[in-house]
Amino acid sequence: MPGSDELVALYDRTGSVVGSATRSRVRAEALWHAAGVVLVRSGDGNAVYVHLRTPGKDVFPSTWDCWAGGVVAAGESPAECARRELAEELGVHGVEPVPLFTKVYDDGRNRCHKFAFEVRWDGPIRHQAEEIVEGRWIPLAELRAWIDDPAPELPFIPDGREGVQEWFRRYG
């Protein structure tokens, strides 16, 4: 698995950094960690960029997501992670992610504090081929219908679904 020896920040249940461990250990032992995730909205705010994750992803492969993001590395803040992942995954840089909220995701195998951010962007999108198969802009109403569908035609990432449902509760 690519990046399995990468050192990531370990968090406790309350959201405090308590150390670091390899990504492979975090996955194998279902350790608490964090992610910086970014919702990319069009400049007018009416659309969101969604993308299909590659089949080789270590968590939730081949699912659609509306959050660019990844695991917070050891010594990195969630905001630094969000900026890094936004640039790596979608080629979006030069815009500062705005903090939104923190959402805890715990399905027993994945225990993560999701630090959510948002950007407005009308520039080009450039996918990281190792992480993203394809992507597109969709109107907010279409995104809401997709995540509210209990059996969608296209699989949506579970933690991303919870995060965008929280976003709609707060801002939509």
Report d(CA 111, CA 108) in Å as an integer. 7
Q: How far apart are CA 132 and CA 68, in angstroms?
A: 10
Per the prediction, the chain carries an average pLDDT of 96
H or E, element range at 2: none
pLDDT of residue 4: 66
pLDDT in tens, 87-121: 999 999 999 999 999 999 999 999 999 999 999 99
Average pLDDT of the residues in 31-43: 98
* Predicted pLDDT at 1: 42
The residue to which tokens 């815009």 are assigned:
95
Q: What angle do CA 151, 44, 119 make, to 5 degrees?
A: 75
**Residue whose entry in the numeric block shows the structure tokens 């705005």:** 98
Q: For the whole model, what pTM was predicted? A: 0.95
Report, as an integer, the average pLDDT of 152-168. Answer: 96
pLDDT at 7 over 90: yes
Both tokens assigned to 1: 């698995």
